[in-house]
Chains A and B, each alone.
Chain A
Amino acid sequence: MSTHDLRFTLNGERREVTVPADRLLIDVLRDDCGATGTKLGCAVGVCGACSVLVDGELQSACLLPAVFVEGRSITTVEGLAKHGELNALQEAFIRDGGFQCGICTPGQLIAATALIAAHPEPSDGDIREWMMGNLCRCTGYYGIERAIKSAANV
């Protein structure tokens, strides 16, 4: 297997790693970069636990070969709080019961970030459409919906 020198930005920091050409982004993040905030659940692109933003676009890191992020900018859950301050969405998830076990939460927060970027005042339909790819077995989704609405002030 050929290897690849990969350069990208992770939560604003430049990273360089040498990886086998078929390595998936999830493994690069968790194993090579030690950024374990992003989770692996189903490994087949269904559950959304591995959701990350690549140049602002929502992607499943369990499906994406890492070579595709060459030169691009990745945001994971670790990049949401700025200078140790939780953002509105993170606070709302705590206040409104947006998580229980927390394993889906990094992905939910990333997907909700993408949702609010696309629809600053999301309708119920927008929330369902954007968040459908992020499974949560704990909350029944009600708390997640409350958190998104309160963070977006709708």
Chain B
Amino acid sequence: MKTLERPPGVLSEPEWRVEGRDKVTGAARYAADVRVPNMLHAAFVSSPHAHARIVKVDASAARGMLGVRAVITGADVRPARYGRRLQDWPVLCWDHALFIGDRVAAVAADTPEIADAAARAIAVEYEELPAVLDPEAALAEGAPVLHLDPSPYLYLGGKRPTVPNANVQGYGLHEHGDVDAAFASAHRTFEHRFTLARTHQGYIEPHATLLWLDGDVVRVVSTNKAPYGLRQQMAACLGLPEEKIVVDAGHIGGDFGGKGHSIDEFVLYYLARATGRPVRAVMRYADELQMSATRHGGTITLRTGVDREGKFVAHSARVVFDGGAYAAGKPVATLMPGEAMVTLAGYHLPNVRVEAMTVYTNQIPAGHSRAPGQPQNVFAAESHVDLIARELGLDPLELRERNAIRGGEIDVEGDVWHDSAAHEVLATLRREARWDAARGRGHGRGIALGARPSGRGKSAIALRLDREGRVEVLTAVADQGGGQHTLFQRIVAAELGIPLDRITVRRGTTENTPRDAGIGGSRVTPVQGGAALEAARKLKAKLDEVAPGAPFAEAARRAAPLEIVAEHTSDANVNAVYAYALEVEVDRDTGHLRVLDAVLVADVGTVINPVAARGQLEGGFIFGLGQALMEELRVEDGRVTTTNLGDYKLPTIADAPPLRIVLLTDSPGPGPFGAKSVGELSNPGVGAAVANAVHDACGARVFSLPVTAEKVFSALRTERRAGPQEGWHTDAVRE
């Protein structure tokens, strides 16, 4: 076990966001705030059918309208397809449209109003085809194949893994131990099935893009959080060299996974080329909800065998995610959400078989959303564990204590943990949530345990030192709200032992910064933060060389101007563990539920930005609570019916219950000074904690998210009839 380095004193100084002033005065620049002279506005025509062949596009009327500068259709972009890893999404469809919202034509015009009018004047003739709206239907024998010839699709960074069925986007099968033998000898076996709604990231800022051609250079102002990633995707899709594309991301108005995926950037290139003018597109929120890459809905079936002590001796799972019409929104090599295979996180599991897949359907494409795959899997896992505890007549916390992973034990993915805070987290939760105290009438308490690995990847950062001893941090990392620029400032100041106000942070474009992996996958603190620390160390070594033993100011005077570029790779497999206890009140007559109180215990390692770390955990809790209680992207016959933020409900300040956060900081992470990642730690566990608390309060079990009053009400009625509930299956006791 690695011992914790003592965090330097500067980390105990108050945190003051480096971009704070700009954000509270309206000066902070977001992509939609940028305007350039002569700029045109884009509008799009999209398919009203879930699956259709495009017979004819007649744009003649639109082309003749005053103020319309270009109209393009699929024929003009063919065969360009885009995507984060697999480029399977046509820039504009030319033969088939695969979901309601798939684009078939685009317009650039002098004003947004003219562009909209022109788009409405484009007549498209379709031949409707049978739609495949459900993953199981897509997997069935004889189902229509949605992508008839994927062989020309580009797969960035390697070779696309093979899939067992033409309608499968990504597939994984993991096995360790002898799972069949372990099930055969298990004392009891439990199986439950859970369904998960499709949800939206719900950032308040819609995607925005401004693109123009500057000689042979393509300049892009974008809401994309991974500028180098977007550059690579555009280069591949458009057939341009990477150096001829410059991506400039400013402040990003919320991400939660959704801002890694860009849509408009690709088609705007063709519009800019056709018009010779800058073109701008700002997504309407209605389009955000109908065509951006949402969180995957799906079904998860879990089966776990226990021995006489309630120890998990065998576990198998089948995870089927509805990937929608395209896999383009998924950046991970497997073309599945990153944690698709982690079906029972935080437990010792010697015998496991997990099968997971993402499936093509004629639905809105699914991509990445905060802790991809986890909110679904943790909901299933922690509901499952709770149900097992009830069946065994054990306290749910006790069952978790019996099974939570320890250092040296093996997890669901077959990885051995060197070190585990799981038991400390559970013990702390028992105490802090007063778990053993009696519940009030109609009240129930639910817990959930979870774990998330710290992010991995590679990044580089530059430092510039001037004669006054000021240090500028130059980075490609955009700020999507996580506080990364302040993080770099604090890390560099701490390592150099100089005051915070000596450090400034400047974000650059892909033209003038070292290459960076972008924000995502809880990567910033260990990876980019690690690069900042590495750069500061290199700078210190350089100063020592030039002026051995001199104080910083003097050494800086002698060594400056100096530029250091440092690269850092973090690939340590270190998990952070967390647990929730929630208390709810359920009205048995209506199913109405209210969350009264929440306690979160989180193992976070060293805290570098105390305000931001707390903010991430608090914000993640409400993010998770929204998806636990109210959020669902409703779809009927392939059509999203929650098309504005009035229908797709996000939590408001009135929905935020009292929350107490207890941080455990002793177990070191892979980040600077022993930090771990926190940005995706607190949202996945909330759904299960709510469902478990509801069960505790009234005996009703809800097997799907969100846990709404209607579902609680109908589960209560089922429970009163005392029949077996949907999704519930328990094997006979084996003697």
Contacts and interface: CB of A to CB of B under 8 A. Distances in A.
B284 interface: yes
A114 interface: no
Most buried by B among A34, A94, A100, A127: A100
B33 A44 contact: no
B254 interface: yes
Given A37-B27, A101-B481, A103-B30, A139 B611 contact: no
Contacts of B25: 37, 77-78, 80-81, 86, 90
A20 to B, nearest CB: 8
Contacts of B615: 97, 100, 138-140, 142-143
A145 B658 CA distance: 12
Contact of B644 (A30, A44, A100, A138): A44
B117 to A, nearest CB: 12
B652 interface: yes
Interface in B612-634: 612, 614-616, 618-623
Which secondary structure dominates chain A's binding surface? loop
A132 interface: yes
Contact of B20 (A76, A77, A94, A140): A94
A39 interface: yes
* Chain B CB within 10 A, most for which of A38, A109, A139: A139
A87 to B, nearest CB: 9
Given A39-B204, A86-B21, A100-B483, A138 B26 contact: no
Nearest to B289: A42
| Most interface-central of A129, A141, A145 (chain B CB within 10 A) | A141
Interface string A37-49: 1111111101101
Given A90-B24, A97-B611, A102-B19, A40 B650 contact: no
Given A94-B21, A95-B16, A106 B26 contact: yes
Contacts of B22: 102
A25 B550 CA distance: 59
Contact of B612 (A43, A80, A97, A105): A97
B204 A140 contact: no
Interface in B51-87: none
A144 interface: yes
A93 interface: yes
A128 interface: yes
Contact of A44 (B28, B205, B645, B650): B645
B26 A144 contact: no
B206 interface: yes
B329 interface: no
Interface string B284-297: 11000000000000
Nearest to A135: B650
Contact of B254 (A94, A101, A129, A145): A101
A36 interface: yes
Contacts of B481: 99-102, 138
A137 B256 contact: yes
Contact of B653 (A97, A109, A144): A144
Contacts of A96: 611
Interface string B433-452: 00000000000000000000
B253 interface: yes
A44 B654 contact: no
B143 interface: no
A136 interface: yes
A109 B616 CA distance: 20
A104 interface: yes
Interface in A97-153: 97, 99-106, 109, 127-129, 131-145
**Interface centre among A41, A78, A95, by most B CB within 10 Å?**
A41
A83 to B, nearest CB: 12
Contacts of B256: 137
Contacts of A76: 26
A88 B284 CA distance: 34
A69 interface: no
Given A86-B24, A105-B24, A44 B285 contact: yes
Interface string B393-417: 0000000000000000000000000
A19 to B, nearest CB: 12
Contact of B251 (A31, A77, A101, A106): A101
B253 A132 contact: no
Nearest to A78: B26
- Among B20, B33, B284, B621, the most chain A Cβ lie within 10 Å of the Cβ of B20
30 contacts: A35-B26, A36-B32, A37-B25, A40-B32, A40-B282, A44-B285, A46-B645, A76-B26, A77-B24, A94-B16, A95-B14, A96-B611, A97-B618, A99-B24, A100-B619, A101-B204, A101-B252, A102-B22, A102-B481, A103-B205, A103-B254, A137-B203, A138-B481, A140-B618, A140-B621, A140-B656, A140-B659, A142-B618, A143-B615, A145-B653
Interface of A: 30-31, 34-44, 46-47, 49, 76-78, 80-81, 86, 90-91, 93-97, 99-106, 109, 127-129, 131-145
Given A86-B25, A101-B251, A101-B255, 15 more contacts: A31-B35, A37-B26, A39-B253, A78-B25, A90-B24, A90-B25, A94-B21, A97-B611, A101-B205, A102-B23, A103-B204, A105-B23, A137-B650, A142-B615, A145-B653
